[in-house]
Structure 1
Amino acid sequence: MRWTLKPKPNPETVTKLASQLGIEIPVASLLVQRGIEDFESAKKFFRPSLEDLHDPFLMKDMDLAIERIAKAISSKENIMVYGDYDVDGTTSVALISSWLKTFYPNVATYIPDRYDEGYGVSYKGIDFAADNDIGLIIALDCGIKAIEKVAYATEKNIDFIICDHHRPGVEIPKAVAVLDPKREDCEYPYKELCGCGIGFKLMQAWVIQNAYSIDSLLPYLDLVATAIGADIVPITGENRILAYHGLRVINVAPRPGFKAIIKEIKKETLTITDVVFIIAPRINAAGRMKHGLYAVNLLVEENQETADLFASEIETFNSDRRDADKTITLEALAQIEELQEKERFTTVVYDKNWHKGVIGIVASRLTETYYRPTLVFTKSGDKLAASARSVKDFDVYDALEGCKEYIEQFGGHKYAAGLTLLESHYESFKQRFEEVVASSIDKRLLTPEIAIDAELALDDISPKFHRILKQFAPHGPGNMSPVFLTKNLKDTGYGKCVGGDDLHLKCRVKQTHSSVFIDAIGFNLGNKSEIITDKKKFNAVYSLDENEWNGNVSLQLKLKDLGS
């Protein structure tokens, strides 16, 4: 692991902010690192307000989208809400369809089949719309590259409103409205919304146009917060506001579908991390193992008993997903070991029998293991389909752009993408991808980095310090949970390995010249126990955590790495 200590912020700015807010220097320093330098910006950070959301009509084509929906309603057209089969797509469809149905009955939903139709807008979906006399399709979390599909729909007298957040190609589809802040001609001030977030902006524009209160949209923010967490978009700006209020909805008044998922969890307050690791995988499992509509049905269900049945079904899908994920990961790791004839800058593996629904998860696991830009391929019809994952600070989407002569179709983000290609192009693509990455990646990025916010003395860790730190949440890209470095630590003699195979490390530490003792837990750090034995001095990188045991809550260090 590379330990990288972030530059110290300007001491005068830190001192001034500490004085304005009545807080300690270490907390003020963390705030200034996040661009919060005065009382007003601190207030917005600690008390995110819906009033600070941008005007949705600043987004290009928003006026056209609202106008077209109003026309559809006044002429009693059938509207279809279309979205992808992942968390962002299914929450988006649940969001817009359930909201529209509160004031307009003629609303259908459509999620493409991962195996039959693949990613994004499909011809089959458009044919379904034509067969059911649908005049308007609202596409969410997809559509920005659906040039031919939108043209096909136009021939069938079906209009499209596209709400997407993926990078556009050279050409924009000729839809009635294309909402995507990443359009070069869109001056919307916040570019990092997820698909569900753009769906919410459409709703916000509608309530403004019709003079309703934005508070009427609060109950829907649980869906938006889930999509923000699952899609790993930055939790800054508008995303932070939406995630903050969405988490409050999940914790205070969860919809029946969420209630059904989380009722077994013995936890008082769910964080964005819980949403990402508990709620999101189950929503995802439907589209991975069966069909995304199972997830939508769960999310829009209003009857608790029915929601419980749906959740039980999805729990089975999730269990199947875990089994497939484990099996394929082991097979992929074995394949890589076999192919390790030389040092490579990429990891690319393929097996025609791998389950298409879990190759994205497997790609993430391989990236964690080998820390290389990774592609996992499987057979999909008469082509190969792949999920791509990247390492921190390397743009895998750009790398795929450099290989596009071998690719049939691709789309995605900096850190995650999907693509299809002909089997005959696989070896040529694999070689080209390796060449592109090898020639463009900074070699330091091939070693995992721990970005450290600040060096801290154990004496600085007080209940007040931690109380303020908890208010930095929700955490995510752009606002990660603070990570600290403390030097010259010693174990008090009780350090030991715990868990099966002595996988984890548990100890109680103190710092030289300090009387403060604090417990520490290091998951998967059992192999570093030698560093703390015999009261040797060591350095630790960690985040702060609460340990709950027998009703008592105490602070502990959640160790990320140790060094001598």
Structure 2
Amino acid sequence: MLHSKTRWHSPAADPIAVEELARSLSISPLLSSLLVTRGLGTAADALQFMDGGAEDRHDPFLLKGMAEAVPRIKKALQEEEHILVYGDYDADGVSSTALMIYLLRYLGASFDIYIPHRSNEGYGLHNHALDWAVQQGVSLVITVDTGISAYHQIAYATELGIDVIVTDHHEPPELLPEAFALINPKLPDCPYPFKGLAGVGVAYKLAEAMLGDEVPEEWSEIAAIGTVADLMPLLGENRSLVRRGLSSMRHSPFPGIRALLDVSAVTMSTVSAVNIAFGMAPRINASGRLDHAGRAVALLTTTNSGEAEQLAGELDLLNKERQLVVERIVMEATAKFEQQTAEGTLPDIIVLADQGWNVGVVGIVASKLLDRYYRPVIILDVHPETGMCKGSARSIPGLDIYAALSSCAGLMDHFGGHPAAAGMSLHRDKLEDFAAALNEFAASVLQPEHFMPVTAADGETAISDLTLQAALDLDRLAPFGMANPLPKFIVRGAAVKETRKMGQDGKHLKLVLQQGKHTIEAVAFGKGALAQLLPGGTMVDVLAELSVNEWNGSRKPQLMLQDLAVPNAQLLDLRGTADAVKQAATLKELLLQYSSGTSFSAAAVFHNSRMTPLNQLKGMSLWVYDENAGISVLNQGQAETGEGKVSLLCLLDMPDTPEQLDAVLAAFPQAENIALLHSIRDGRDRLQIPTRDHFKSLYKLLASIAAVATPEHEVLLRLSRQSSLSVRMLGKMLEVFEELEFIKRSNGTITFVTQPAAKSLTASRHFVRLGETAEMEQYFMESSLSELQEWMLSRRLGAS
């Protein structure tokens, strides 16, 4: 049994509405169902969403502040003022800066750019940068993707004689800066109808206000990158902007974008929003995380192909380095957190800080810890000399992290962000109070259900509905991203037909799933370890995205697995594994990832004679086979089995007798997974199911070998030479003869009884026991998994 990592939730679409929409638009029921469940149940709404139109684009002068900003910029152009574009170091900030560069180049302006260094300076507008701007002769600053919280810094700029136009999209604070113009759709009194613009989206609207219909179409490529990278909702105007950007990107005139697509291994002709999110954006962000974002700006604005290829290669290497840095910090942060909570409960909000945690990647680390613990997470880097902490937060849907930070604003020097993500700085002396205040706020907001991760699906469907045409139809809903995710489908009761690992070191998993006559391939990246848990015939439920797999000119539908579950108890066939203890520990860690927040327990049963060190089985209850009691506990302190309900039961060794097996099954009647890890006994040493012919032949041999008292070892040696049976089998048969008084044992010798009383073999307890033990051994050593599973089920029913 495998529990899904998250709880799957899918809305039930009104079948009448689905049928009506499918009929009126001549679309498939699957596509119609998706549109209905996403609130697009009318033909007009559905067509508007799928095909777009002018209604998605709004007049830029509806943005408050735009009417003041445009004349001020035109005045600067006329009077040849020197302008400073002040940006940010993430992909949205880089894109916004690049877009303003293209605009000011187009307008023939005199300008400079300034992006703060993430580690050395941190987020936002800085006074020392304004001092530098004065020295450069700047009289107008245009901020992009930043500035809405810079009250004091903009006041300082005013003192210096610099006008500031703020273009931003972050949540505005209560105290707004007194800038020349504030352009932010989230301002309380801004009438702009679409509030979800990215920073680069606001910059694009400024370009529209300056140029009208003359905005070059290719600039939408820059806007698309920042919008997708900053996880803005791909609805309304964003959807239109990203769609246009992707269309232009497929034949992009920008050397930097072409080079970035190339190092990201993205095919230009099929570039999608998903490619931006997982290919281009991480490389752009790597520049600001580990170096300076100016390198990424240079890439997006260069006109030289050679320079573009060099810069794209540098960003690719930085991204690889970033991945290694993240991996190290995740390990350190996880160890630190588990040490802190070893004896206690998990806090509502996890706050971790340490030196040497690169401030450029702490947001990624926070995301990874959130995935592991499903709690809001704040990770901070501590400066060793000043004690200042800079960090990033990532939150779960139940908690607005910006609101949480606002509740303890007095403890921080600076903070800003969104409900799902934020950044902050504070002194380490305030860390304890900071964590306490955040958890106090969280305790008043979060309920137990908020800590149960839920994945929204778009419906339950059958494999027969997941056709190539259905996969192609889904493209009409693209681009996919925030607020318009790739459709996810639940398929229940599919049989695993084939299982194999793929990729380097077998890191990835490929399955063929079957329902009736219909099959489909399914790929799960990073889940190769699950192959051993999913043999052919396993019934699974899967949560997956539908895609098109193109290979050698052929196209077919393919599922990209996001999560899976095995709803029934499993018998895991790992017989003959080289290191049973190591394999048991590996299985425990693997299944723990699929415990879905439920209590997880594991047990191992083995022979008392096992010499292998057991330290890898830490946290498991340990049991040994017992000749009298069947099994007995080895580590009494860890013997709690929850009335036999264990997530994993590992049989490191095969039981010696059916009674021992029955004792195991009786002790763990609700085991979700039983792993067979025993070695395979050499065929020459196995028992055979006894027959009358076996005993008839042995009787004749004994008559000649043991007519007089003969040492037992000599009898066994001579019998083994004259018989095809193993010494172990012969020893068991001698026990039967002794019980029936056909032989006598005395002082290590055996004597054949010449005229024994007539007795039936079936009257011997040892004969019956030998038959049952041989049958058990045959199942454990030779039978198929399905045969063994059926036989053990019959034993389990008998044991219960």
- Pairwise TM-score range, normalised by the shorter structure: over 0.9
The CA distance in 2 between the partners of 1:69 and 1:82, in whole Å, is 15
Alignment partner for residue 545 of structure 1, among 539, 544, 547? 547
- Give 1:435 shift: 2.5
Partner SS, residue 481 of structure 2: coil
Is residue 21 from structure 1 mapped to residue 22 from structure 2 by the alignment? no
AA aligned opposite 1:442? Q
Distance 1:525 1:353, change over 3 A: closer
- Give 1:254 shift: 4.8
Specify the alignment match of 1:505 in structure 2: 509
Specify the alignment match of 1:304 in structure 2: 305
The CA distance in 2 between the partners of 1:348 and 1:52, in whole Å, is 41
The CA distance in 2 between the partners of 1:529 and 1:263, in whole Å, is 33
- Give 1:321 shift: 2.0
Q: 5+ unaligned residues in a row in structure 1: which ranges?
A: none
Deviations 1:297-336 (A, max 9, x none): 1111011112122223333332332222222122112212
Specify the alignment match of 1:343 in structure 2: 345
Distance 1:266 1:139, change over 3 A: closer
The CA distance in 1 between the partners of 2:540 and 2:533, in whole Å, is 7
AA aligned opposite 2:372? T
Specify the alignment match of 2:314 in structure 1: 313
Is residue 40 from structure 1 mapped to residue 65 from structure 2 by the alignment? no
AA aligned opposite 2:242? A
Alignment partner for residue 449 of structure 2, among 438, 444, 452? 444
The CA distance in 2 between the partners of 1:504 and 1:444, in whole Å, is 32
Specify the alignment match of 1:400 in structure 2: 405
1:360-439 alignment to 2 at 5 Å? 360-380=363-383, 381-439=386-444
- Give 1:523 shift: 2.8
Specify the alignment match of 1:473 in structure 2: 478
Deviations 1:467-510 (A, max 9, x none): 11122111112111111112221122x22444567654322112
Which deviates more, 537-546 or 480-489? 537-546
1:222/1:254 contact within 8 Å kept = no
- Give 1:11 shift: 3.4
1:288/1:358 contact within 8 Å kept = yes
Specify the alignment match of 2:197 in structure 1: 193
Alignment partner for residue 57 of structure 1, among 52, 56, 61? 61
Distance 1:269 1:354, change over 3 A: same
1:50-129 alignment to 2 at 5 Å? 52-129=56-133
Partner SS, residue 495 of structure 1: strand
Specify the alignment match of 1:322 in structure 2: 323
Deviations 1:516-546 (A, max 9, x none): 1111122344555577445243322111122
1:519/1:556 contact within 8 Å kept = yes
Structure ranking higher on relative contact order (CA contacts 8 Å, 6+ apart): 1
The CA distance in 1 between the partners of 2:242 and 2:448, in whole Å, is 35
Partner SS, residue 250 of structure 2: helix
Specify the alignment match of 1:249 in structure 2: 248
Q: Which has the larger radius of gyration?
A: 2
The CA distance in 2 between the partners of 1:167 and 1:266, in whole Å, is 34
Partner SS, residue 433 of structure 1: helix
Partner SS, residue 519 of structure 1: strand
Specify the alignment match of 2:564 in structure 1: 562
- Give 1:219 shift: 0.8
Distance 1:50 1:253, change over 3 A: farther
Partner SS, residue 101 of structure 1: helix
Distance 1:319 1:464, change over 3 A: closer
Partner SS, residue 394 of structure 1: coil
- Give 1:232 shift: 0.7
Q: Percent identity?
A: 36
AA aligned opposite 2:243? Y
- Give 1:135 shift: 1.1
Is residue 179 from structure 1 mapped to residue 190 from structure 2 by the alignment? no
The CA distance in 2 between the partners of 1:27 and 1:51, in whole Å, is 23
Q: TM-score, normalised by structure 2?
A: 0.67
- Give 1:68 shift: 1.1
- Give 1:67 shift: 1.4
Specify the alignment match of 1:225 in structure 2: 224
The CA distance in 1 between the partners of 2:234 and 2:50, in whole Å, is 13
Is residue 293 from structure 1 mapped to residue 294 from structure 2 by the alignment? yes
Distance 1:254 1:554, change over 3 A: farther
Specify the alignment match of 1:280 in structure 2: 281
Specify the alignment match of 2:520 in structure 1: 518
1:490/1:532 contact within 8 Å kept = no
Q: TM-score, normalised by structure 1?
A: 0.94
Deviations 1:358-378 (A, max 9, x none): 111111111122221001111
AA aligned opposite 1:385? K
The CA distance in 1 between the partners of 2:536 and 2:94, in whole Å, is 54
Partner SS, residue 356 of structure 1: coil
The CA distance in 1 between the partners of 2:443 and 2:504, in whole Å, is 39
- Give 1:38 shift: 2.9
1:162/1:177 contact within 8 Å kept = yes
Partner SS, residue 521 of structure 1: strand
2:10/2:460 contact within 8 Å kept = no
Specify the alignment match of 1:457 in structure 2: 462
2:468/2:548 contact within 8 Å kept = no
AA aligned opposite 2:329? I
Partner SS, residue 361 of structure 2: helix
- Give 1:143 shift: 0.5
Count of matched residue positions in the alignment of Structure 1 and Structure 2: 556
2:9/2:454 contact within 8 Å kept = no
2:471/2:548 contact within 8 Å kept = no
Which deviates more, 379-388 or 269-278? 379-388
The CA distance in 1 between the partners of 2:314 and 2:517, in whole Å, is 53
The CA distance in 2 between the partners of 1:324 and 1:541, in whole Å, is 31
Which deviates more, 522-531 or 474-483? 522-531
Distance 1:437 1:501, change over 3 A: farther
Q: 5+ unaligned residues in a row in structure 2: which ranges?
A: 568-800
- Give 1:42 shift: 2.5
Distance 1:309 1:24, change over 3 A: closer
Distance 1:107 1:480, change over 3 A: same
AA aligned opposite 1:384? C
- Give 1:89 shift: 0.7
1:403/1:429 contact within 8 Å kept = yes
Is residue 238 from structure 1 mapped to residue 243 from structure 2 by the alignment? no
1:95/1:223 contact within 8 Å kept = yes
Deviations 1:211-230 (A, max 9, x none): xx25x331111111111111
Distance 1:188 1:105, change over 3 A: closer
- Give 1:413 shift: 0.5
- Superposition CA RMSD, Å: 2.0
1:164/1:179 contact within 8 Å kept = yes
Which deviates more, 271-280 or 474-483? 271-280
Distance 1:500 1:292, change over 3 A: closer
Partner SS, residue 190 of structure 2: coil
Deviations 1:437-490 (A, max 9, x none): 233123223232221111112221222211111221111121111111122211
The CA distance in 2 between the partners of 1:263 and 1:315, in whole Å, is 10
